[in-house]
Amino acid sequence: MKIAIAQINTIAGDIKFNSAKIREYAALAKKNGAELAVFPELSLPGGFAGDLYLRKDFLKACEKEISVLAKELDIPVVLGSSFGGENAVIYIDKGRIEPLSFKILFGREKKYFNGNDLQMSVKGFSCCIYSGAKELEQSLKKAAELQAETLLVLANEPFYIGVNEELTEEITAYAEKFSINIAFINGVGAQDGFVSFGSSFAVNKAGFIEASAKQFEEDLIFADFVLNTKVQIEEIPMEKQVYDALVLGLKDYAVKNGFKKFVLGVSGGADSALTAVIAKDAFGAENVTGIFMPSDITSKRSRDDAELLCKMNNIKLLEIPISKTFKSFKNDLSEIFKGVKIDVAEENLQSRIRGVLLMAYSNKFNALLMTSGNRSEIASGYCTLYGDCAGGYAVICDLPKSYLYKVCDWRNSVSKAIPKSVLEKEPTAELRENQKDSDSLPPYDILDGIIDKFADSFEGKEEIVLSEEEKQIFKMISLAEYKRRQLPLGTKLLKYSLKDIQLPVTNGYKQ
């Protein structure tokens, strides 16, 4: 049987849009001689639809649309949808509608679906929805019992560094171990910071990959599981995968929410430089505006680097000095602050003035304000609420600072986009004279390792032993929880992301 694997980009909750996409790709599959078209997990409701799955009207609308599809499709189709209270695999053929599999649930999904057990076989194939290696092995054993030649694995797996390689190795090994053909059908596209990465593939029972879809793009591939067929899989540099995930995360968020213009504060630093280039690559330089907002302590080098960045990328650069506004604010507060030494309150005033100006531009021109805080700063609380945290989308919020430079180097290898001077200078917030990030934080390569250890600690695999320095960083991360709760959405990049962790803000645990 020639199977078409349809890797599509859906919109959460937009049942009509998703249904039209299914029709389009089913027609292409038939035109190319396929006998079956397979679509990703929850492709009809649109993947990460959250609490929409608790609304009876939404669930009813999904099932009604399945009935419409059943009457109109002229090729057998397997698709993922909510159905009868389950995250289900639905088989549609000549008006017939049949659930073939229900997902084995874990974590937050139990809030939305029942999780009953179902796995059936039809026309030599069985189906499951990917839940992890352990659950996949259960599904493979069941497929063997059902004497299925092929297992269709529907998924909507979000990207994290290394996931593509992990899944490919895992599934090819299982195909050979169980002597069964496996088609892995993954969604593609971004939804509220989660980026499904695509890279669907088909592997035959000998463990050879015979068809592979593009990463971070819609695609349609075909497999008939001929044992002597084997394709060479291109090895994609990890920095390119990360960069493509960042571009798609921003692009889908903006397009699906109606934004066409983008603005950010350009400081002359690496974070804002990378954010600006990502926006340019996603939407074109003509749709991106950078705003440079110098104070009395802003260095000439910062100005030069901001100007050079925008010139290299043909990005419009505006300048709005904040010195007069800052002096006015300090004057307004002078009586209240009288006798109290200057500290972070005054420093943060500068950041908050910049946030107000950027939000004003965003409101006036309907431009999405992109914040450019990285994972290292956000984890440790080295950011200002209502200042550099203000905005609509946090593009690099899950990108560690030490890895950010590798991503910048990779982007420069494609074409020069980020000035060398930006990448070579010591990071600084420039909120006081001669300020450096290293005044408040350990070196980023050390800090990022401790942040990873903090995130890993919530896996519960083993008790973590901490040095005194690590204890202080753990405390810093814990105390910054209230800031992270108030951050805008942003793209997830790491398996154990701080986006997935919710500590109590009022937290008495001292470790």
Active site amino acids:
41, 103, 128
User: Who contacts 134 (Cβ-Cβ below 8 Å, separation ≥6)?
Assistant: none
The distance in angstroms from the start CA to the end CA of the chain is 58
Residue 209's nearest CA partner among 227, 192, 197, 196 is 227
For the beta carbon of residue 459, count every other beta carbon within 10 angstroms: 10
The values of phi and psi at residue 73, to 5°, are: -70, 135
- Only one residue has tokens 């249904």, namely 19
In terms of C-beta distances under 8 Å and separation of at least 24 residues, what long-range contacts does 415-420 make, across chains too?
Answer: 416/312, 417/277, 417/280, 417/312, 417/313, 418/270, 418/273, 418/274, 418/277, 418/309, 418/312, 419/273, 419/305, 419/308, 419/309, 419/312
The values of phi and psi at residue 99, to 5°, are: -75, 130
Instruction: Decide: 58 and 21 in contact? Cβ < 8 Å.
Output: no
| Cα separation values, 77 from 4, 46, 83, 459, Å | 9, 17, 15, 38
Alpha helices in 334-443 (DSSP H): 344-365, 375-380, 401-414, 420-424
- Only one residue has tokens 């213009």, namely 261
